[in-house]
Chains A and B, each alone.
Chain A
Amino acid sequence: MNLQLRPALVSFIALSVLTGLAYPALTTGLAKLIFPRQAAGSLIHKDGQVIGSELIGQAFTSPRDFWSRPSATVDANGKPLPYNGANSGGSNLAPSNPDLKKAVEERIAALRAADPEATGPVPVDLVTSSASGLDPHISPAAAAYQVHRVAKARGLDEAKVRDLVAAHTEPPQIGVLGDARVNVLKLNLALETLASK
């Protein structure tokens, strides 16, 4: 039996260089050339500073803003740090885990406390944590649920806020892919411009 020493070593090195250095380098170069904005993270700038990425969700806590979904991300020491863009992840709570039910109850209570007049059932995405912990979207129903609170806190006409949500609602792609959604960061930024008018 031939030991195949040289072919093994050479093919391993050649294919490593090809697929592990040349291919990523070529992709990086072409991506930067053709899609520079996307390749760099679809970042949003304001006054010369990066204020976020349109693809990465952020934690909003003020009653004046639309809130994102709950996030289960943690910091480097394992302490909760919602929307930590350097450590993505979900809760991995089982549907049968009592902790999940407890967390959902607490989130419902917090939403009710922020707006006692919103008494209808809460859209499920607003009280469950996302897979990435960085979900930039909420469902149109979850946005509608918050319209009353946001309009009241900002002293805006509810219909105007509702129109803004409608304008930021994206339907499933080509009608069937994925689900309808609203980008929370973009909606809140638009809310600022609406309020300053």
Chain B
Amino acid sequence: MSHAWIQNLLFLGLLLALAVPLGPFIAKVMEGERTFLHPVLGPVERGIYRLMGISGEEDMGWKTYAWAIAFINLLGIAAVFALQNAQAALPLNPEAMGKLPTDLALNTAVSFVTNTNWQNYGGESTMSYLTQMLGLTVQNFLSAATAMAVLVALIRGLVRRTSNGIGNAWADLVRSTLYVLLPLSLVMALLLVSQGVIQNLAAYVHTASGQVIAMGPVASQVAIKMLGTNGGGFFNANSAHPFENPNALSNLIQMLAIFVIPAALCLTFGRMVKDRRQGWAVLAAMSVIFVLALSVTTWAESKGNAGLKQLPVDQVVSVHQGGGNMEGKEVRFGSGATSLFATITTSASCGAINGWHDSFNPLGGLVPLWLMELGEVVFGGVGSGLYGMLLFALVGVFIGGLMVGRTPEYLGKKIEAFEMKMASIAILLPSAAILIGTAAAVLSTAATASISNPGPHGFTQVLYAFSSCAQNNGSAFGGLNGNIPFYNYGLALAMLVGRFGVIFPVLAVAGSLGRKKVTPEGLGTLPTHTPLFVAVLVGVVLLVGALTYLPALALGPIAEQLSLR
């Protein structure tokens, strides 16, 4: 057994150790209880409410809540778009980066607001430091806060009885940013700098031999890019760049940062519904799928590239070399830490990379692709992973209810036609965006001209792009040239559909559940904290994912795998 497998186990152990205290902390914050941070940040929170002219206690119905979320996200798109247009004339631009083309600027604005962070640009050759900070870093925070708010609203819908309100969107946004995302980011940014991640506002360094080395406020952006499951790199090479991710320890910190809030939120959920077993059941279902996926990627990438087998190349894993499939990977990580990172980043809606997925072996690349297509509910994005998984839980109890012939219930709330309609819309819209978008692209000569690899792999590049965008992941099969109007506009649309086509139905479900009474548990109730329900949940997620995507996957990675013999 190579040490990569021990690294995998160590990661899972540390994740659990971090999530267990963080989960209840987040619950406290979102319920407005005092925490150890309140003496310092409490006055800031109250100050912001005063400026806003609210108390933070006003209860909103789901439509008002949805409008608040939509409004602040629209402002975000406008601000990021404007900054990219004006950056040439603004300060903190030592490399004199110019105005971006409209299609690219719009794609980037939508991408960061929707927590996708798909990047059709290379950071160090395109963006000023001000745009990176005031545009992109801000949206890394706000998009994560948005999804946390929506999740908490959904949980309130499950908890409350005959209530019209699902909480105050502004308080949810401010609290998650102020008490959860900001403090964690500050600590993590400094940890990263200690390992070698740069943090400065200096001009690029020119060495004696003429090498130009890009600089910038990297650590502050990388910390939240991970914690907020955003994934947009400061540099083009993202977390493969030595200044973003200098060693295997910084790599471990970053991987933990991707999963820690999504994992903790399961426990937040358990605490808020006053039944911790419910949170653990969801966490268990996520972990089962994750471990299966991780095993396939680790195995596939340690194998080396079958296409190079006839050449005198040593790809065997040994103590003298990491070995495996090393095209597009860094030596300090090797195939093990790169496989782990890739599985994490696509289970979550992160999309940061520490090696290029485009150069992965066919099966090693299939797993990240399919994980995104499952809806990113395996841990998933901050907030969005759990609200997505809770929709699958509703589908699960519905199917379970059909099988035993009882009215389905989840946590005492009757699941009826309206909830099932909303859950179906939220699951089907991103899938439709992926499949229709891919179909449209392969019919367009402009779009197919962007493909960089021949054969089935070229098709996978396009499928990956639409899967990544519609599921708000942001990782890429990077050889595809996405910076053409077709993809800039098309993928922006997919990102919006994949984000708000889920958020609005989730809030509608929250509103509808909140108005219902709680039915006492009876003999016919399907318990939702048992291993049986975990199995049902895993089954539903995998089944929906397989039925929707197997034909497309067969044309891409599966065909490529068969051709590499």
11 additional contacts (CB under 8 A) given A15-B145, A90-B478, A179-B322? A7-B52, A19-B142, A39-B219, A53-B242, A84-B212, A91-B479, A94-B479, A97-B453, A100-B307, A101-B307, A176-B3
Residue pair A131, B194 in contact (C-beta under 8 Å): no
Instruction: Tell me if A79 counts as interface (CB < 8 A to partner B).
Output: no
Q: How far is the CA of A59 from the CA of B355 in the complex (A)?
A: 20
A131 surroundings in chain B (CB, below 8 A): 237, 240, 328-330, 338, 353-356
**B333 contacts which chain A residues (CB < 8 A)?**
178-179
A12 and B190 contact, CB distance less than 8 A: no
B186 and A23 contacting across the interface, CB-CB below 8 Å: yes
The docked-state distance in angstroms from the alpha carbon of A184 to that of B162 is 67
A56: chain B residues at CB < 8 Å are 211, 213, 242-243
Contact A95 B248 (CB under 8 A): no
Contacts known (A10-B52, A131-B328); A24 close to B133, Cβ less than 8 A: yes
Docked CA distance A20–B212 (Å): 27
Cβ-defined contact, B199 with A97, below 8 A: no
- Report A's interface with B, CB cutoff 8 A: 1-4, 6-12, 14-16, 18-21, 23-24, 26-28, 30-32, 34-35, 38-43, 46, 49-53, 55-58, 69, 76, 83-98, 100-101, 104-105, 108, 120-125, 127-142, 144, 172-181
Q: Give chain B interface residues in 103-134, CB to chain A under 8 Å.
A: 122, 124-125, 133-134
Contacts of A28 in B (CB 8 A): 199-201, 217, 220
Cβ–Cβ < 8 Å partners of B215 in chain A: 41
Q: Please state if B198 and A39 are interface contacts (CB–CB under 8 Å).
A: yes
Shortest C-beta distance, B448 to chain A (Å), equals 16
A-B contact pairs, 17 of them (CB 8 A): A4-B68, A10-B48, A42-B246, A52-B207, A55-B242, A55-B246, A83-B211, A88-B214, A92-B356, A94-B560, A96-B453, A122-B312, A125-B326, A128-B329, A130-B240, A132-B242, A178-B247
Which residues on B sit within 8 Å (CB–CB) of A120? 312, 314
B564 contacts A19, CB within 8 Å?
Answer: no
* A4 vs B66: C-alpha distance when bound (angstroms): 11
Given contacts A104-B308, A121-B312, A139-B331, contact A31 B237 (CB under 8 A): no
A49–B205 CA distance with the chains assembled, in angstroms: 11
- Beta-carbon contact of A178 and B334 below 8 Å: yes
| Stretch among B69-77, B423-431, B437-445 lining the A interface | B69-77
Is A52 touching B211 in the complex (CB atoms < 8 A)? yes
**Cα distance A46–B208 when bound, in Å?**
9
Q: Is B170 an interface residue (CB 8 A)?
A: yes
CA distance A32 to B193 in the complex (A): 9
B358 contacts across to A, CB distance below 8 A? 90, 92-94
What's the least CB distance linking B285 to chain A, in Å?
27
State whether A97 touches B454 (Cβ < 8 A): yes
Q: How far is the CA of A105 from the CA of B308 in the complex (A)?
A: 9
Count how many chain B residues have C-beta atoms less than 8 Å from C-beta atoms of the other chain: 133
Bound form: Cα–Cα A51–B208 in Å: 5
Contact residue among A40, A122, A125 (Cβ-Cβ distance under 8 Å from B322): A125
Within 8 Å CB of A86, what residues of B? 124-125, 204, 212-214
Check if B563 sits within 8 Å of A125, measured CB to CB.
no
A105, B336: Cα distance in complex, Å: 25
By beta carbon, the residue of chain B nearest A89 is B236
Chain B 180-195 per-residue mask, 1 if CB under 8 angstroms from chain A, else 0:
0110011001100111
Which residues on the A side are within 8 Å of B52 (C-beta)?
A: 6-7, 10-11, 14
Q: Output the nearest chain A residue to B478 by Cβ-Cβ distance.
A: A92
Say yes or no: is B138 at the interface (Cβ < 8 Å to chain A).
yes
Candidate in A6, A31, A128, A173 with the most chain B CB atoms within 10 angstroms: A31
Q: Which of B138-163 contact A (CB under 8 A)?
A: 138, 140-142, 145
Which chain A residue has the least Cβ–Cβ distance from B138?
A20
Choose from A39, A104, A137, A140 the contact partner of B199 (Cβ within 8 Å). A39
B54 touching A137, Cβ below 8 Å: no
Q: Which one of A38, A104, A132 lies within 8 Å of B330 (CB-CB)?
A: A132
Instruction: Return chain A residues, CB-CB under 8 Å to B240.
Output: 88, 90, 130-132
Q: Which of A12, A124, A176 contacts B321 (CB 8 A)?
A: A124
Using CB atoms, name the residue of chain B closest to A98.
B454
Contacts of A122 in B (CB 8 A): 312-314
In the complex, what distance in Å separates the CA atom of A24 from the CA atom of B135? 12
For A133, what are the chain B residues with a Cβ–Cβ distance below 8 Å?
Answer: 237
Contact (Cβ within 8 A) B313 A127: yes
The one of A53, A94, A100, A124 that contacts B324, using a Cβ cutoff of 8 Å: A124
Say whether A15 contacts B142, CB under 8 Å: yes
Q: How far is the CB of A37 from chain B (nearest CB, A)?
A: 9
Decide if A38 touches B194 in the complex (CB within 8 Å).
yes
In the complex, what residues of A have CB within 8 A of residue B292's CB?
A: none
| Chain B residues positioned under 8 Å from A39 (CB to CB) | 193, 198-200, 219
B198 and A41 form a contact (CB under 8 A): yes
Residue of B nearest to A39 (CB): B199
Chain B positions 307 through 323: 1 when the CB is less than 8 Å from some CB of chain A, otherwise 0: 11001111100111111
